Structure 1
Amino acid sequence: MERTQIVGTGSYAPSRVLTNQDLERLVDTTDAWIRERTGIEERRQAAPDESTSDMAVQAARPALAMAGIQPEDLDLIVVGTVTPDMPMPSCAAFVQAKLGARRAFAFDVAAACSGSLYALSVADQFVRTGQARRALVIGAELFSRSLDWSDRNTCVLFGDGAGALVLAPVSDTDDSGPPRGILSTHLRTDGAHAEILTIPGGGSRMPMTEEVLHERLNTVHMNGREVFKFAVRALVDSTHEALAAHGLEPGQVDHVIAHQANLRILEAVLARLEIPREKCWLNLHKYGNTSSASLPISLDEALRAGRLKRGDIIVMMAIGAGMTWGSAVVRW
């Protein structure tokens, strides 16, 4: 089978900035409290007329431009999101139409904050097996409309945004060096812990009713302490697994591209892996937790900042509701 490489990246953040000081006027919190517990200083919020697919398209266009391909060249679009435009059809269908990618088949992957990593893994399989030559992977979330703005434990965390990756078969014909591209992805789920991070209302289990709206059960509910403990353990184990699959040690990692939910989680994971914080691209302070968009936004920023060099070993990691989590190893 062919290997897959990332040939284009893009990202998008809405123009409206919601600072910690803004939140002080909305809910019982302070800038110091938020910074100390999360590392977040501000986050972005979509405009009233902006949808998840709109943000996804804005991230996709620079990714396609970097890859040097047109939308009609795409064979596949996979969107990781749990905040689609509507329950059906998929967000990916709207993205396909808005881009004009008429040849591409398109669908969503729902793995919460792990969504873009899951979508990357799915698209990688299609490219490896030759069923798709050009694939567009997007993580896009509009969580500001799924938050309880009176709950200081959740409303301070999330921001809106989108990130995109373009995948293609490895074009490097030089076989003298180590293999480049996506070396492997490793995905995990443990539904026994589903209740620690949910949007309980609005589905078939608890359809939308006046009571659901009154109790705000259609918004994010989280047991932060349990999420923290689970996340640190799962991400450390998953990263060790991914590296071991290629005979690599954490000390050989050049860059960490991670879903950014909480600075304390990232610092704990990096400490246990004995990877210096300087190797992890951090943008949590300005975007907050953008869920599935976090990982591709971070990769795009790191690449455009000149941090990624040919041959670098990159570890990706993400964890989200489900609980879902995973890691990937890429040689750039």
Structure 2
Amino acid sequence: MSSQKKVKIRSVGKYVPDKVLTNDDLTEWLDTSDEWITSRTGIQQRHISTVESTADLCTKAAHEALKKAGVAAEAVGLVIVATMSPDAQSPSVACTVQANIGAAQAMAFDINAACSGFVYASSVAEKMLSASPYQYALVIGGEVMSKVVDWQDRSTAVLFGDGAGAMLLEKNSDTHSFIGEDIHADGSRGRSLVSGETALENPLTIKREMNPYLQMSGRDIFDFVIRSVPKNIRTVVEDNGLDLEDVDYFLLHQANARLIKAVSKKLKQPIEKFPQNIQYFGNTSAASIPILLDDLIERGDIQLGSKQTLVLTGFGGGLTWGSLLINL
């Protein structure tokens, strides 16, 4: 690692809004059913924010991670938020969180890689922290997807939920959690998932109408994941001298239960190694991986410091995809 210092995962926290929207609730205004949604996606419910902003969710997740570690916010030198549903173009969600938690010494910025955002942000944070004078970094995936979804569009309204997950990284002389990574983008296929599009026109003329809501080609995304993600996972594992059998768990972005099952089949690994919580939270985009990681730690399936080997894999808009190979 040359002169760079080792970085370990110190703690993880999450926060989701109180309001739960079930599949049956959606049938009040959408032509759908609980059976239709569950059989095609694995989703049974999702949490929806009614008064809390993206920064609010991220702040509460950050507080949880700091509390579990017993670390003061003043010791944090870097805050990165991965989100595709920020509260404003400026200030960034990360800057708002930095102020909210009192991390007065920290630099802060957002990353938008859609559902791959937490993988991208973790990669950046690990490298920045290892080369910085700071001891701690917060990596947060947070989304209020309910504000970017057209709730009259059945193809997307049934999929998404709101929430945030935070991971506290610590510079450590003995332990390094990050073994390897394989991260990609393909902007030529970016139209497969578009959100928040605005028209580029002369501001003095009358602007044409643009759809501000999330639009997605489900078939394109499904095909992209099946073609790219198993290869990506295999590459990050084998390039670092391991076999797929050496990995304890594969933590995939929680986009669709059928898709996760298809990836496990492609890799010829048991579905039990691909834990899921999509049934409770839906697709929370950049928040899904840290929320799942926190759930598994709370359940005792994963223990920090256990030396368990995990693969964290994100995929989504951009198009972007990538995997981190980590050792707890």
Which runs of structure 1 show a deviation greater than 6 angstroms over 4 or more consecutive aligned residues?
A: none
- Could you say which residue in structure 2 is the equivalent of 1:133? 135
Aligned length: 321
Q: In the alignment, residue 267 of structure 2 is paired with which amino acid? A: L
Q: 2:161 aligns with which of 159, 162, 170?
A: 159
Tell me the TM-score normalised to structure 2 length.
0.94
Task: Please tell me whether the aligned partners of residues 148 and 196 of structure 2 are also in contact (alpha carbons under 8 angstroms).
Answer: no
Once residues 292 and 57 of structure 1 are traced to their aligned partners in structure 2, the CA distance between those partners, rounded to angstroms, is 15
Q: How far apart are 1:184 and its partner, in Å? A: 2.0
Q: In the alignment, residue 142 of structure 1 is paired with which amino acid? A: V
Note closer, same or farther for the CA distance 1:181–1:264 as it changes in structure 2 (3 Å cut): same
Name the % identity: 39
Q: In the alignment, residue 125 of structure 1 is paired with which amino acid? A: K
- Could you say which residue in structure 2 is the equivalent of 1:331? 327
Query: CA RMSD of the aligned region, Å?
Result: 1.7
Once residues 206 and 72 of structure 1 are traced to their aligned partners in structure 2, the CA distance between those partners, rounded to angstroms, is 45
Q: 2:255 aligns with which of 238, 242, 261?
A: 261
Task: Show the 5 A alignment for 1:2-151.
Answer: 2-47=5-50, 49-151=51-153
Note closer, same or farther for the CA distance 1:276–1:321 as it changes in structure 2 (3 Å cut): same
- Cα deviation digits, residues 200-253 of structure 1 (max 9, x gap): 52365799x8853xx6x1001111011001012221111111102211111111
Note closer, same or farther for the CA distance 1:127–1:233 as it changes in structure 2 (3 Å cut): same
Tell me the TM-score normalised to structure 1 length.
0.93
Q: How far apart are 1:264 and its partner, in Å? A: 1.1
Task: Please tell me whether the aligned partners of residues 199 and 207 of structure 2 are also in contact (alpha carbons under 8 angstroms).
Answer: no
Q: 1:274 aligns with which of 259, 264, 268?
A: 268
Q: 1:222 aligns with which of 216, 220, 237?
A: 216
Once residues 30 and 210 of structure 1 are traced to their aligned partners in structure 2, the CA distance between those partners, rounded to angstroms, is 38
- SS of alignment partner, residue 52 of structure 2: coil
Specify every segment of 5 or more residues in structure 2 that has no aligned partner in the other structure, as ranges: none
Q: Does 1:190 align with 2:186?
A: yes
Task: Please tell me whether the aligned partners of residues 200 and 206 of structure 1 are also in contact (alpha carbons under 8 angstroms).
Answer: no
Q: In the alignment, residue 297 of structure 2 is paired with which amino acid? A: L
Q: In the alignment, residue 165 of structure 1 is paired with which amino acid? A: M
Once residues 279 and 306 of structure 1 are traced to their aligned partners in structure 2, the CA distance between those partners, rounded to angstroms, is 15
Once residues 314 and 204 of structure 1 are traced to their aligned partners in structure 2, the CA distance between those partners, rounded to angstroms, is 43
Once residues 15 and 125 of structure 1 are traced to their aligned partners in structure 2, the CA distance between those partners, rounded to angstroms, is 35
Q: Which moved more, 1:61-70 or 1:125-134?
A: 125-134
Once residues 162 and 208 of structure 2 are traced to their aligned partners in structure 1, the CA distance between those partners, rounded to angstroms, is 27
Q: How far apart are 1:171 and its partner, in Å? A: 4.5
Once residues 131 and 245 of structure 1 are traced to their aligned partners in structure 2, the CA distance between those partners, rounded to angstroms, is 30
Q: 1:245 aligns with which of 239, 244, 248?
A: 239
Specify every segment of 5 or more residues in structure 1 that has no aligned partner in the other structure, as ranges: 173-178
Task: Please tell me whether the aligned partners of residues 78 and 129 of structure 2 are also in contact (alpha carbons under 8 angstroms).
Answer: no
Once residues 171 and 275 of structure 2 are traced to their aligned partners in structure 1, the CA distance between those partners, rounded to angstroms, is 26
- Cα deviation digits, residues 176-219 of structure 1 (max 9, x gap): xxx64111222100001100111152365799x8853xx6x100
